[in-house]
Amino acid sequence: MKRLYAFLLLLNLFWLSLPALADVESWQAVDVRIPIQNNDQLWIPRRLNVFTIAQLAPRFESGLGILRYSVGPQWEFNPHFSLGLLGDIIYVGVPGGKNTQEYRLNIEPVFRGRFLPELSWIDRTRLEYRYFPDHSNWRLRNLLRLNWSGWSQEWIPYLANEVFLEYPQGFNQNRSFLGVRHVMDRANQLDIGYMWRSRKTATGNWEHDHILMLFLFFAPPDQAHNLLGGE
């Protein structure tokens, strides 16, 4: 395990040492699920989700592009459907400009299932109300993730894709993921992944980013199998 963490640290340092002109980023996140006891009634959420992510990139003056803190309840209606309600506070870096803040309110339905005993899928839709100091807007996101556990229960490869529809701009971002989940034990898991992000600029052109992702999850054992991953 120590060798794994040392390798990830060196990989992260190498990633961020690439030339500033290269569109590379490194995302590190911690996702914690806090169970809520005595929740026999359906209207009481099963847990509280706490999520923190730092998005680092050489093109930002301080190196920090996004620092986001999210917290909110999640209801588990059955093994195949859950609903989350999250509030976000976000620091937003602006290359060559003045840094700003963003606040979000998210409604997040999540569906889960299996195509095969070894092939599971997760479909998450997120409706976001985004508030900035000078404007606000709505955004709809949909992420589909496939997990393959046929080779190992400790190292689970995954594929995912997420599309973004922002009002009134329309489709302006796509994220494709490839990675592996390391199940250290029933309560601690680590996602190591690569993201290819395509985003539409204000001029109408598309730019592309290479992103290294390291996401660490802490969850009660009875909820660890439902971890989604992704930002």
Q: Where are the domains of the chain?
A: 2-221
User: What pLDDT was estimated at residue 21?
Assistant: 43
At 48, the amino acid letter reads L
Counts for the chain of helices (H) and strands (E), in that order? 1, 11
In 3-state terms, what secondary structure has residue 19? coil
Q: Which of 219, 163, 191, 171 is nearest to 27 (CA)?
A: 191
State the Cα–Cα distance between residues 25 and 130, nearest whole angstrom: 23
Among 99-108, 140-149, 220-229, whose mean pLDDT is lowest? 220-229
Residue 42 DSSP one-character state: T
Given a cut of 60, whether residue 176 has pLDDT beyond it is yes
Q: How many CB atoms lie within 10 A of CB 198?
A: 14
pLDDT band for 217, please (50, 70, 90 cuts).
very high
Percent of the chain with pLDDT strictly greater than 90: 58
Answer whether CATH 2.40.160.40 is correct for domain 2-221: yes
Per the CB < 8 A criterion, the answer to whether 227 and 31 are in contact is yes
In 3-state terms, what secondary structure has residue 127? strand
Given a cut of 60, whether residue 159 has pLDDT beyond it is yes
Given a cut of 90, whether residue 17 has pLDDT beyond it is no
User: What pLDDT was estimated at residue 20?
Assistant: 45
User: What pLDDT was estimated at residue 185?
Assistant: 80
Q: Which of 115, 103, 113, 31 is nearest to 74 (CA)?
A: 31
Average pLDDT over residues 68-75: 96
Average pLDDT over residues 161-169: 94
At 156, the amino acid letter reads I
User: What pLDDT was estimated at residue 62?
Assistant: 74
Find where tokens 């992000």 sit: 197
pLDDT in tens, 77-119: 888 999 999 999 999 988 777 889 999 999 999 999 999 999 9
Range from 34-38, 181-185, 213-217 that averages highest in pLDDT:
213-217
